[in-house]
Amino acid sequence: MRHGTKNRGFTIIEVVIAIFISAIMFAIGYNAINQALENRDQLTVSQDRVNEIQRGMRIVAQDFSQIVARAARDTAGNGQLMPAIYATGSDNIVLTFTRAGWSNPAGIQRPAEQRVRYRYFEGSLVREHWLAVDPALNSEPQQRIVFTGITAVEVRFLDPVSRSWRNDWPAVTASGPVSSINVSQLLLTRPLAIEFTVVFEDWGRVQRVFEIPT
């Protein structure tokens, strides 16, 4: 006599165990995917930060490589002659200077030189420039943020005479009126090099030394 084969199904315990194992595998896979997404986001943020710092350093390098001995009127429009390179080392205005090589692809009538000022403001380094080397009374500069998330900016100047570093420039200050005899010494002298230091909140201290053309 031949007996028919009886189909045997899953028990409740087996189903529960299978669901439990599936839940564990799903949790492991979800955590791995979530961690991968977080790592990707962190990598993107880090890469953006690196690009910002590299781009900012290129701007600074281009500016310093084009510094020229060109005095300019006070940026407040008072008519007072200011040195080609000016820094006090004591306020939020980091450095003011004149640079050449201002590109003009549109052929606009304007000078090829540019008056530039670097200013530290609320955790950022701001680059400002005027459309004229000798700005008109109270003319507003064009602004561009070079670095964000910084805690300090420092510049030092290598004196070609003493061969020592100093925090302010020019090395010789005027004790009387500027004339054709002393204008070169008082307003047009340039350092041999500028040491540029930025302290970032996340990257720490970054320092570069730029040779200044003479």
pLDDT for the residue numbered 6: 56
pLDDT for the residue numbered 73: 83
Positions of the chain with pLDDT lower than 70, given as ranges: 1-10, 14-15, 30, 32, 34, 36-44, 75-79, 102-111, 137-138, 173-185
CB 38 within 8 A of CB 44: no
pLDDT for the residue numbered 105: 58
pLDDT for the residue numbered 11: 78
What pTM value is reported for the model?
A: 0.74
pLDDT for the residue numbered 89: 84
Instruction: Using DSSP bridges, classify how beta strands 93-99 and 85-86 pair: parallel, antiparallel or unpaired.
Output: antiparallel
pLDDT for the residue numbered 163: 93
**Residue carrying structure tokens 């307003």:** 187
Of 116, 198, 94, the C-alpha closest to 149 is 198
What domains are there in the chain, each with its CATH number? 57-211 (3.10.610.10)
Burial of 161 (C-beta count, 10 Å sphere; 0-12/13-18/19+)? exposed
pLDDT for the residue numbered 204: 92
Residues 120-158 have pLDDT tens digits of: 999 999 999 988 888 776 678 999 999 999 999 999 999
pLDDT for the residue numbered 122: 93
CB 163 within 8 A of CB 196: no
